[in-house]
Amino acid sequence: LMLSLFGTVLPPILLNKGFPHTGLGLGSIVSSLELPVSVTLAWIVIPETVLPIQWTGIAIIIFAIIISNINFKKA
């Protein structure tokens, strides 16, 4: 009961409540970081097996977040 409450019920509710305070830009970044954080914590806490293809996907997500936040200035 506690795992379902804190793992599946509360996170989406709290994320949606926080969107008006953070704005769409930061809210979408936090939303896209949910999967990499979940997989990494499962790997650390549970020691769940994470395949190299999954690590590649996590790296792509983090790389996309970094690229979307870099301000490219035209010279």
Residue ranges of the domains in the chain? 2-69
Q: From the CA atom positions of the chain, what is the Rg in Å?
A: 15
In this predicted structure, the answer to whether residue 5 has a pLDDT above a threshold of 90 is: no
Q: What is the pLDDT of residues 8-64, one digit of tens each?
A: 888 888 888 888 888 878 888 888 888 898 889 889 988 999 999 999 999 999 999
Check: pTM over 0.75? Answer yes or no. no
Contact predicate 40/25, CB 8 Å: no
